[in-house]
A and B are shown apart, each in its own frame.
Chain A
């Protein structure tokens, strides 16, 4: 089945630690996106990428980094500079108007 796979489903981060969230798609979509979801705030754009080896900052990129070495993969690293990383993270891809979302990764700081 075509879709987006995010892993892990749950992730725990210690203070001062970097963690990487995985996002893989087999839809052959060019564009990929990372969103952060907090209760009552909708979805906020962290980073997006239109093509391999190119990506752009979204509205809340501080404390995050990404790479796009393959069309299928768009991993997100939450760095220690992100002071409030506890949230639900969603990856999406698109080939035009519609977005397809993954099932998300819930990150918790412990």
Chain B
């Protein structure tokens, strides 16, 4: 089956940098996505890595190592509004489905 592991909680202070790791076990892997979800809200797409390496989008960057079945989301210059849950999701399988990790609750402290 498909499975993704990520830490359940991370805490950091405003202005800091935080890294949320994700390891995955999937068959037919195409790429790794990251989604953000604020309390009670809809998940929103942040990034997608199909190839090894770092993708940067403003304060957020995402990394993938296919050989290590590992990726991470890097958030820089943390702001209070970054407090949310972050999900990694593997895009895989013959049907190209998304399988989500259980999510990491990020708390940004003042």
Q: Do A and B come from one complex?
A: no
